[in-house]
Amino acid sequence: MDAVTYPQIAVIEFLNQSVIPVRVPFDSEPLATEFRLKWTPMLVILDWNGKEHSRTVGFLPPEELIPSLILGIAKMYFNLDRFTDAITSLDKILADHPSSGAAPEAVFLKGVNGYKGAHDVQALKQAYQRLQADYPSSEWAKRALPYRLL
For residue range 25-60, what is the model confidence (pLDDT) as tens digits?
888 999 989 999 888 899 999 999 999 999 999 999
Give the dihedral sign, CA 122/128/129/134: positive
Give me the tens of pLDDT residue by residue for the chain, a chain 150 residues long: 788 888 899 999 999 999 999 888 888 999 989 999 888 899 999 999 999 999 999 999 999 999 999 999 999 999 999 999 999 999 999 999 999 999 999 999 999 999 999 999 999 999 999 999 999 999 999 999 999 999
Does 2 fall in a domain? no
Go through the chain and tell me how many residues it has: 150
Which domain, by its residues, includes 74? 9-149
What pTM, to 2 d.p., does this model score?
A: 0.93
The CATH number linked to 40 is 1.25.40.10
Does 60 fall in a domain? yes
DSSP string, 83-123: HHHHHHHHHHHHHH-TTSTTHHHHHHHHHHHHHHHH--HHH
Rounded to an integer, what distance in angstroms lies between the CA atom of residue 26 and that of residue 6?
18
Does 3 fall in a domain? no
Does 105 fall in a domain? yes
Domain count, the chain: 1
